[in-house]
Amino acid sequence: MNAKTRQVIALHIGDRNRMSAERLWAKIPGAYCQHATFYTNQYVVYEGVIPAAQSRAISKWAHKTNRIERFNDTLRQRVSRLVRAALSFSKKLANHIGAIKLLIYHYNLTRAAA
């Protein structure tokens, strides 16, 4: 997530393992990969994926991850498929991912207008 615009710059849906971190890093636009600083939650998987010069592992007390955590809450609120035992549960993974992407596209469009 871009700290200034609050737009989501990349998305990968998968496990919280190294392979998923590498896939997410591959989806981040080149300008960010070269010049941005990435704040992470001290999760060890990010250490080998994000270049050390650009990575800042911080604790939750640093309040640098508040926006992304708020966005995660927004996802859970607006995409009922992410809530357990919901009536709108997706049987197909592609439908699940599509619902998440649709919300992110709309979210980014509203941030661009602001």
Instruction: Report residue 63's pLDDT band, with 50, 70 and 90 as the boundaries.
Output: confident
Does residue 4 lie in a domain region? no
Tell me the residue range of the domain where 43 lies: 18-113
Residue 21, class by beta-carbon neighbours within 10 Å (0-12 exposed, 13-18 middle, 19+ buried)?
Answer: buried
Instruction: Report residue 86's pLDDT band, with 50, 70 and 90 as the boundaries.
Output: low
Does residue 62 lie in a domain region? yes
Region 7-20: mean pLDDT is: 92
The pTM score is: 0.79
Does residue 81 lie in a domain region? yes
Average pLDDT, the chain: 86
Does residue 57 lie in a domain region? yes
Q: Say which residue, 92 or 27, is predicted with more confidence.
A: 27
pLDDT of residue 85: 64
Does residue 56 lie in a domain region? yes
**Reduced DSSP (H G I as helix, E B as strand, rest coil) percent helix, strand, coil of the chain, to 5:** 55, 5, 40
Domain count, the chain: 1
